[in-house]
Amino acid sequence: SQGQRRKVKVWSDGCYDMVHFGHANSLRQAKALGDYLIVGVHNDKDISIHKGPPVFTEQERYKMVRGIKWVDEVVESAPYIPSPDTLDQYDCDFCVHGDDITMTADGLDAYHLLKSAGRYREVSRTAGVSTTDVVGRMLLLTREHFRRDFLEYDVDRASTTGSDSVPGSPWTETSQFLTTTAKILNFSNGKEPKPGDKIVYAAGAFDIFHVGHLDFLEQASKLGDFLIVGLHTDTVVNKYKGSNQPIMNLHERSLSVLACKYVSEVVIGAPRVVTEGLMEHFKVDVVCHGKTQTADITGSSDPYLVPKKQGKFVIVDSKNDMTTEKILYRIITHRLEY
Ligand code: CTP
Ligand code: C5P
């Protein structure tokens, strides 16, 4: 019809194992090059052949990529070496990939067919984060765990004020990523709640953003119209999760949560205790938490006393038992394979 131009469909593909904000950032840039983004995700068998076994199963990886807000569609078991036929099959114009070379098991450039067909475009890779790096941090921190046990911090104040946390705190100092306001702006929805919107608030660590978090946030978002996620500082997270966590620093966790399609806004460094002031400030209608424990290792008081008294507290069932500890366990039991 008149005035309607054909939509530009973009193809992106990859493993998306332990999906991180670097992956999300490449998909954000890919989407910006067209109107509609289709992401091909490789299956476990192909990844094992070309790269070694992934930490997350294909079902988990498909779900995580579907949860990223710039993704319109996911193609499961996408070919490791995409061809012009692959793109035609999904009506895609070109493929977008980060500016690193992806090699097949035979040492071939996985994109050679698309490159020679002129249907390959590059975006810049996000420096300072990769699946290998995150796995490395997890292994390093399990070793450091015992050495760091003696460290003690006065975090009582931090747990109620949500004071700033410097990336490079003792638990996240291995991070090589530098956060800029531009990056946060790129990831942000930039939208305020509309008048009458029901505001939902959920707070937590959201370390190594995983399928359990994703399912939780999906349920949380169904409780209202505008979901605000409060991220605890590294200091606070360390206090209740133990001496080797968090693995991702506050800024990295912020970007991962912002990339999630169910999230409207993020509080970068939220107080552990949900106060009356916070409820008023964000005009919160309902506060929720998953079925995981809220009591922390220090035995401090219930952070949800205020919303409970106001009759605004809800427990949400993510129906998913994934935890950061489980991921760590998978990595450690398979460490020889990585
Ligand atoms: N990507 C990126 N920035 C990163 C990591 C990945 O832009 N820090 C991009 C890749 O360039 C690719 C897409 O994310 O376009 C999917 O990457 P994937 O196949 O999952 O693997 P890797 O590139 O190996 O990612 P990683 O190094 O994290 O394992
Ligand atoms: O543990 P963390 O603070 O990262 O959890 C953030 C929120 O996600 C919490 O409300 C927790 O109960 C919820 N969650 C869940 N199911 C999981 C993992 C986390 O509901 N498998």
pLDDT tens track for 167-214? 555 667 667 788 899 999 999 999 999 999 999 999 999 999 999 999
pLDDT in tens, 243-255: 678 999 999 999 9
The pTM assigned to this predicted structure is: 0.90
User: Contact 316/223 with Cβ under 8 angstroms?
Assistant: yes
- Residue in 307, 294, 309, 68 with CA at minimum distance from that of residue 201: 307
Q: Decide whether any atom of ligand 2 lies within 6 Å of the 290 Cβ.
A: yes
Ligand 2 atom having least distance to the Cα of 291: 12
Provide the pLDDT confidence category of residue 159 given band limits of 50, 70 and 90: very low
Residues 6+ apart with CB under 8 A from 286: 198, 199, 200, 201, 223, 224, 307, 312, 313, 314
* Distance of alpha carbon 10 from alpha carbon 197, whole angstroms: 33
- If you measure from the C-alpha of residue 113 to the centroid of ligand 1, how many angstroms do you get, rounded to a whole number? 19
Query: How much is the average pLDDT of 25-37?
Result: 98
Query: Do β-strands 313-315 and 286-289 pair in parallel, antiparallel, or remain unpaired?
Result: parallel
* Residue 146 in tokens: 């015992």
Among 159, 210, 213, 245, say which to mutate for ligand 2: greatest number of ligand atoms within 8 Å of CB.
213
What percent of the chain is predicted at pLDDT more than 70? 86
Among 63, 292, 324, say which to mutate for ligand 2: greatest number of ligand atoms within 8 Å of CB.
292
- If you measure from the C-alpha of residue 333 to the centroid of ligand 2, how many angstroms do you get, rounded to a whole number? 23
- If you measure from the C-alpha of residue 217 to the centroid of ligand 2, how many angstroms do you get, rounded to a whole number? 9
pLDDT in tens, 316-337: 999 999 998 899 889 888 765 5
Please report which ligand is nearest the Cα atom of 322: 2
Query: How much is the average pLDDT of 142-149?
Result: 50
- Reduced to 3 states (helix: H, G, I; strand: E, B; else coil), residue 203 is strand
* Distance of alpha carbon 205 from alpha carbon 212, whole angstroms: 12
Q: Decide whether any atom of ligand 2 lies within 6 Å of the 21 Cβ.
A: no
- Reduced to 3 states (helix: H, G, I; strand: E, B; else coil), residue 152 is coil
In DSSP terms, 194 is beta-bridged to none
Residues with CB under 6 Å of ligand 1 are 14-16, 22-23, 25-26, 97-98, 100, 125-126, 129-132
User: Contact 94/119 with Cβ under 8 angstroms?
Assistant: yes
Please report which ligand is nearest the Cα atom of 260: 2
User: Contact 70/31 with Cβ under 8 angstroms?
Assistant: yes
